[in-house]
Structure 1
Amino acid sequence: MSSPTTAPARNRRTTSPAGLRPPRRRHSPARPRRSVLLTVLTWLVVLYALLPLLWLAISATKTQEGLAGSFGLWFGDDFALWDNIVQTFSYDDGVFGRWLLNTLLYVVLGAGGATLLAVLGGYALAKFDFPGRRAVFAVVIGAVAVPGTALAVPTFLMFSSMGLTDTPWAVIIPSLVSPFGLYLMWVFATEAIPAELMEAARVDGAGELRTFVQVCLPLLAPGMVTVLLFTVVQTWNNYFLPLIMIKNADWYPLTLGLNHWNAQARTAGGEPVFHLVVTGSLLTVVPLVAAFLLLQKHWQSGLAAGSVKE
């Protein structure tokens, strides 16, 4: 007979002792811990962001009468989206198209110029040492903290003395200054461009301009896209600056033009065109959504830059 100590392995106890809990499952980035509260809050934020867009898209399919006689988050009896788009571009002698071109002009020159200046300034502040660099840093930080509305009156008085009010330059020139974009490119250039890479380019005989264009500029692409998106959204949705600078309706951006259509219902004998205001607002949002979708790959590529050591 075999003793208890020589029992077959299959008869040995492999389970944990009674009363002991199994070991807890460890969480990892591939298997994160689930939080019901965090999930609920996330869905609330998603609804808060998407419900206005859903209302705007649905309301753009309704006529003037359908807006007042139907539920806001559901379609009306008549699907009039195409008719509303045609009326939006043809109403008031097609002034909506002029406002759209004005907005594109302000964005291309204003936001594009602001991005270019932010890239050049941020690169210079990050990679070159010169007298007054700390003072520039203090000025930039202070400019970021100052709201744009606080500078509206001084800006208007300055441009009025130069005779530039009621012209496109009154909107374009102030849009060229982006303290936040400059600070963002300053920080990004400091981390994204190794000093050894610039020294290697200089040793190979490349000048400063060639080093910036061929070596440093591709590394700054994610930061450039981020600054470009911020400045484009800021210029596209700019309302207060054109409001105080421009009186001629022919130079209105979309924000002022749609507000003009919305306000004409409150004037004596004014025609309410709320369905055109809603449709115009939808057409105003579409380019911004398209810009984010087209540039998100370049934007997201910079978020993990330098996080993995090869």
Structure 2
Amino acid sequence: MATPVLLTAVLFAFGIYFLSPVLWLLFASTKTTAELFNTFGLWFGHHFSLGSQLNALFAEDGHIYLRWLGNTVVYSLLGAGAATVLAAACGYALAKYQFRGRELTFSVVLGGVLVPGTALAIPLYLIMSKIGLTDTYWAVLLPSVVSPFGVYLSRVYATAAVPDELIQAARIDGAGEFRTFATIGMPLMSPALVTVFLFQFVAIWNNFLLPLVMLSDERLYPVTLGLFTWNSQVTHYPQYFGLTVIGSVVSVLPLAVAFMMLQRFWRADLAAGSVK
């Protein structure tokens, strides 16, 4: 009897440990800049200043934070959407078509999964500079539409979830390859594609190094780079510390909303096959 209680206590302690930075951020977002330095971090300040902090955040420097947030939404939605469609098509083709070099192609994709993004930042910058796309939206968007992990996951899932018999039946009925993929392959692969989309969406949303290398115009910055710029000026402008805190809280909210909206696809997939 003591073992479950002990395990629960240990898990609870670890939960508090991992959640403490998030709790600090939430409490800090309700404080003024001065209270951030002279009050206990894991509790509210003397004045509940969330409203005034939000007003200051959105009004700072000609509403630049809203522009950064909008840029991040554009980068993440377009990049993750295009990456998901491309990964689905590639994974479906690798799973369902026989062609020379298929396994070699898949091996190259697996190799791409192992390459860290930091190693590609400088080569990507040199390529974008050569074609004149640095300091543009395309410099961040184009590298974001490639997801080796998405291709790998799509191939594995398509192999298991898309029966060859359905594809043959669609061909007999006169459906072309693209229509078969769009009407049969993608719906059956939807749980995996939601996972690919969320992984890529979060990766682009939190991306920092690539925009740092590619962009010099602050109007094109994503929210991560914008908040870093504010935080680097805290020594000269102390008010930026409070703005960075509340800006970090606001930037997390769209990610939470995305997970809550898309988690039903995972639940549906877990229940699939439970009743024949």
* TM-score w.r.t. length of structure 1: 0.84
Q: How many residues align?
A: 274
1:94 maps onto 2:58 in alignment = no
SS at match of 1:302: helix
1:290 maps onto 2:257 in alignment = yes
1:214-229 maps to which residues of 2 (within 5 A)? 214-229=183-198
1:262 maps onto 2:240 in alignment = no
1:299 maps onto 2:266 in alignment = yes
1:46-85 maps to which residues of 2 (within 5 A)? 46-85=15-54
1:164 maps onto 2:164 in alignment = no
| Paired AA for residue 203 in structure 1 | I
Report how far residue 160 of structure 1 moved.
1.4
In structure 1, distance between residues paired with 2:10 and 2:103? 42
Please tell me whether Structure 1 or Structure 2 has the larger radius of gyration of its CA atoms: 1
Match of 2:147 in 1: 178
In structure 1, distance between residues paired with 2:15 and 2:260? 17
The structure 2 residue matched to 1:273, chosen from 240, 255, 264, is 240
Higher-helix-fraction structure: 2
1:203 maps onto 2:175 in alignment = no
In structure 1, distance between residues paired with 2:104 and 2:267? 32
The structure 1 residue matched to 2:119, chosen from 135, 150, 168, is 150
* TM-score w.r.t. length of structure 2: 0.94
| Paired AA for residue 261 in structure 2 | L
Match of 1:248 in 2: 217
In structure 1, distance between residues paired with 2:217 and 2:16? 39
SS at match of 2:187: helix
**Which consecutive residues of structure 1, in runs of 5 or more, have no partner in the other structure?**
1-33
SS at match of 2:234: helix
**Which consecutive residues of structure 2, in runs of 5 or more, have no partner in the other structure?**
none
| Paired AA for residue 72 in structure 2 | T
| Paired AA for residue 202 in structure 1 | R
| Paired AA for residue 282 in structure 1 | V
| Paired AA for residue 155 in structure 1 | L
In structure 2, distance between residues paired with 1:45 and 1:232? 27
Of 297-306 and 93-102, deviating more is: 297-306
SS at match of 1:93: coil
The two structures, once aligned, show a CA RMSD in angstroms of 1.7
Identical pairs, percent: 51
In structure 2, distance between residues paired with 1:46 and 1:189? 36
Distance 1:214 1:232, change over 3 A: same
